[in-house]
Chain A
Amino acid sequence: MSQTNSSQFKVEVTGVSKRYNIYDKPVDRLKELVTRNRLCCHREYWALRDINVQFPKGVTALIGPNGSGKSTLLQIIAGVLEPTSGTVERRGRITAILELGAGFQPDYSGRENVILNGMILGISREEMETRIESIAEFAEIGDFFDQPIKTYSSGMVVRLAFATAVSVEPEILLVDEAMAVGDQNFQTKCRDHIWKMKQSGKTIIFVTHDMDMVRSWCDQAVLLNGGQTVKVGDVNEVVEAFEDLMNHHDKVAVKRFTAPVETAKAGV
């Protein structure tokens, strides 16, 4: 029965919440873990509350103001963070470029990192070695490929991360804002590659602040604010909702920003 239903969505996020317990001392966290919460000593912060989103094939953008939970949601979809409650279903190989550098080790060379990251995704060393030259070429790393990653510029790290992530041909690609770091040529290259992935029926979920890109590229958009979904679905409607939100936000921010100046003047 759910056969047609389930194949429609590559990623299904159901009732996901993420609570951060804020501890005054790190040891308090351990106390709770060991005593199974019989000893409680924390305050709570909800980064995400009851998120329900389905991601079909194609490109979905996650948008929202700073601190709205976009990156947290992406990390939970990637499986790096455990949700406090709720479930994430993923159908297919998933790779993620979360912030700078993915799972790269600063001391390892580019080559070693690419192989290690492939192996983490369950691809054998031999298989990674057959495609390693094309990864280096795509990333335009040149002679630095055998140097430690810590000597790379941030652009080089992102290029290598992107090349590695797409080289394993994921069914689902997650991209945090990382891509915005590369130069324009590489941006173009990345976009072309993502476009190709989209054409061949892959699922791409990315976080961005570039509304033009959202409008022209995405099949779906998700607007988050304060850890909750505000709007999901048609790109134009979601972007509009986002712009309304930001305008309102700006006005409040301007008021807040100018208020202390006025009181300061009044004080003088």
Chain B
Amino acid sequence: MATSLEEKAQEKALLINNNTGGAVPGAIPGYSSNKPVEMAANGPAVLWQNRNILLLMVKRDSMGKYKGSLLGALWPLVNPIGHLLLYTFLFCIILNVQFGKTGGVGNFALYLMSGLLPWGAFSEALSRSSTIILEYPNLVKRVVFPLPILPLVTVLSPLVTEAMAFSMLLVAILISTQKFHASVAYLPLIALSQVLLTAGIAWVLASLGVYIRDIKHMMALLLSAWMYATPIVYPASKLPQEFQFLLWINPMAGIVMDYRRVVLEGLPPDWPHYGTYTALAVVVAILGFKFFDKTKKSFADVM
């Protein structure tokens, strides 16, 4: 391939007339400031230094996702509502799963959504992250790009959609229960742990995905197993005693349960549980970043 490109360039070069006479083209006004050249930061500082690029790409990604589709900006709402109807029919009406003290279809729907929306953001991020580096070959091979922010795009972009749908959910809760819980103020705390956890795993998957192309095929199965191991379509109390430990080692379980406590039950997060999954999320984020940082050097060689 390189050969043919070079040959083509050679061919074209022959066509060029060497006398470069003629009008002087309009010059571009140069970069005027005399700021010293910014040195590329190492380690996690690179994330902060390039926050504007991250912001631009997240904005572009979350808005561009449905560009050109008929329903456009409605898709982030259509999708969760579709799943809501599907899961409510299946688990509430057919299998008769009950949530909360009162039970009932309406209650099920609210409990389901407050777990399903965060899960949606989590699983979308993970399923995309294994191919995210491969999606941007130009940024890997043509310019010196702060690569660790690429997996973060897959983490933050679905979060924008989640936040939109979640605020609709809060309105629905307000209308149907006629109660406003001040505990929703804890939401950012829970969301932060969720982001750290998602980012840590996304960094590992993004890097592995470059070397092992099978990762993306594994993700669908892995994510549906993980979803059913998380109390999303059933209450955590339904989990048999011998499986209750899963709620502690699966950080997404604690996250989903805490979302429900703060938006539906008016309670603060379950602090021991919160501390456990947050500590886990921090460790995962640090290790994930380190792994990515160490392996990113040979991305350009592989791609």
Q: Which residues of A contact B (CB under 8 A)?
A: 20-21, 26-27, 29-30, 33, 66-67, 71, 75, 78-82, 92-93, 96, 98-99, 101-105, 107-108, 112, 115-117, 119-120, 122-125, 127, 131, 134-135, 137-138, 163, 166-169, 177, 180-181, 184, 187-189, 191-193, 195-196, 208-210, 212-213, 216
Contact = CB atoms under 8 A, between A and B. Distances in A.
B143 A103 contact: yes
Q: Which 4 A-B pairs have the closest CB atoms?
A: A103-B143, A169-B30, A177-B9, A169-B31
Interface stretch (B21-29, B192-200, B221-229): B21-29
A44 to B, nearest CB: 13
Interface residues of B, number: 56
Contacts of B27: 138, 193, 196
Given A29-B302, A92-B37, A184-B17, A124 B295 contact: no
B138 A191 contact: no
Nearest to B291: A34
A163 B28 contact: yes
B10 interface: yes
B10 to A, nearest CB: 4
B13 A26 contact: no
B212 A27 contact: yes
A148 to B, nearest CB: 10
B6 A177 contact: yes
B16 A66 contact: no
A71 B10 contact: no
A80 B143 contact: yes
B211 A26 contact: yes
Interface stretch (B52-60, B73-81, B182-190, B240-248): B52-60
A180 B16 contact: yes
B28 A181 contact: no
Contacts of A213: 13, 16, 18
B2 interface: yes
A120 B53 contact: yes
B5 interface: yes
B83 interface: no
B96 interface: no
Contacts of B142: 80, 96, 98-99, 101-103
B53 A102 contact: no
A247 to B, nearest CB: 16
Contacts of A30: 208, 211-212, 295
A78 B5 contact: no
B31 A216 contact: no
B16 A184 contact: yes
Interface centre among B26, B138, B298 (most CB of A within 10 A): B138
A17 to B, nearest CB: 14
B238 interface: no
A81 B211 contact: no
Interface string B14-44: 1111101010111111111100011000000
Contact of A33 (B12, B144, B295): B295
B52 A124 contact: yes
B31 A168 contact: yes
Given A125-B56, A137-B26, A213-B18, A177 B5 contact: yes
Contacts of B18: 212-213, 216
A96 B138 CA distance: 13
A208 B28 contact: no
Nearest to B7: A66
A26 B213 contact: yes
A115 B9 contact: no
Nearest to A137: B26
Contacts of B9: 177, 180-181, 209
Contacts of A71: 2
A103 B3 contact: no
Contacts of A137: 26
Contacts of A135: 28
B277 to A, nearest CB: 27
B20 A192 contact: yes
Interface centre among A29, A117, A137, A196 (most CB of B within 10 A): A29
Interface string B112-148: 0000000000000000000000001011011111100
Contacts of B5: 99, 177
Given A27-B211, A93-B37, A209-B6, A104 B138 contact: yes
A181 B12 contact: yes
A116 B53 contact: yes
